[in-house]
Structures are given as C-alpha cells and as structure tokens.
Amino acid sequence: QSALTQPASVSGSPGQSITISCTGTSSDVGGYDYVSWYQQHPGKAPKLMVYDVSIRPSGVSNRFSGSKSGATASLTISGLQAEDEADYYCGSYTSRSTVVFGGGTKLTVL
C-alpha cells in the first residue's frame, strides 16, 4: 500500500488561511469517506483534528476544516496562529481494510 501524497511543506502568515492537500487513489481516499487529519508537534503524540473527511472531534477549533474531491482530500486552517505550526498527516481507510498515512506536511507560521 503506497503512502498518500502530501506536500512536504507549506507556510503562511498569522491570520491567513492555508490548505494542505492529500492525494490517493480510488482504493483509499477516492473510494471512502474515511479520511482523517492529524496534527503532531515535536516530541508529542499525534492529535486527531478531522475525521470522516470533515468531522471535527470535540475540542478541536473550528478554524480547522476538511473536504474531499475525488481522490484528493484537503485540510484548511483559517486564521493561522503560531500554535498551528506543526507536522500534519492525512490518513485514509483502504479497500484492504487497512489505514494508510500521507508522508506528512510541515506547516511553518511565518
């Protein structure tokens, strides 16, 4: 199972919006509405930010939103804040009943 494709890095200034893409295939992202996004700060465990494409777990800021079109999912962070600087990973359920992650995107807040 190949990893999902994410940009290695994105950046934005405080207050701006950024979008991170996650591209898969019809066997994962394109075939199921089970895409999730995770935030990971250095030395910390990942944190679920969005699941089932667009659902935010309790306690996650509404500045984080998810969407999907075909085999590409996206995470948008609006009103960028310094604390959003972290690594972000997408994940998807697959046709083999496994989960596959993207390679990760480093978000830099300028």
Partner 1 sequence: EVQLVESGGGLVQPGRSLRLSCAATGFTFGDYAMHWVRQAPGKGLEWVSGINWNSGNINYADSVRGRFTISRDNAKNSLYLQMNSLKAEDSAFYYCSRDVGTIARNLEKWGQGTLVTVSS
Amino acid at 68: K
Token pair listed for 104: 């990760």
Q: Does 89 bind partner 1 (CB under 8 A)?
A: yes
51 binds partner 1 (CB under 8 A): yes
Question: Which residues is 105 bridged to in the sheet?
Answer: 88
Other CB atoms within 10 Å distance of the CB of residue 110 = 10
Segment near partner 1 (CB under 8 A), from 11-19, 21-29, 31-39, 65-73?
31-39
Q: Which stretch binds partner 1 (CB under 8 A): 17-25, 68-76, 78-86, 87-95?
A: 87-95
Q: Say how far apart CA 35 and CA 90 lie, in whole Å.
A: 7
Which residues contact partner 1 (rule: CB under 8 A)? 1, 3, 34, 36, 38, 40, 45-48, 51-52, 57, 89, 91, 93, 96-104
